[in-house]
Amino acid sequence: MDKPLRKQRPVAVITGASSGLGRATALEFARRGISVVLAARRKEALNKVAFGCKRSGVEVLVIVTDVTDEVAVGNLAQAAYRRFGRLDIWVNNAMVGMYGDFERVPSEDFRKVIETSFFGYVNGARAALPYFRRQGQGILVNVASVLGTVGIPHMSSYVAA
Q: In sequence order, what DSSP letters do the residues of the chain get, joined into one string?
A: -PPPGGGSPPEEEEETTTSHHHHHHHHHHHHTT-EEEEEES-HHHHHHHHHHHHTTT--EEEEE--TT-HHHHHHHHHHHHHHHS---EEEE-------S-TTTS-HHHHHHHHIIIIIHHHHHHHHHHHHHHHHT--EEEE---GGGTS--TT-HHHHH-
| Of 81, 121, 131, 158, catalytic | 158
Cβ count near 16 (within 10 Å): 28
Residue 131 known to be catalytic = no
Catalytic residues: 158
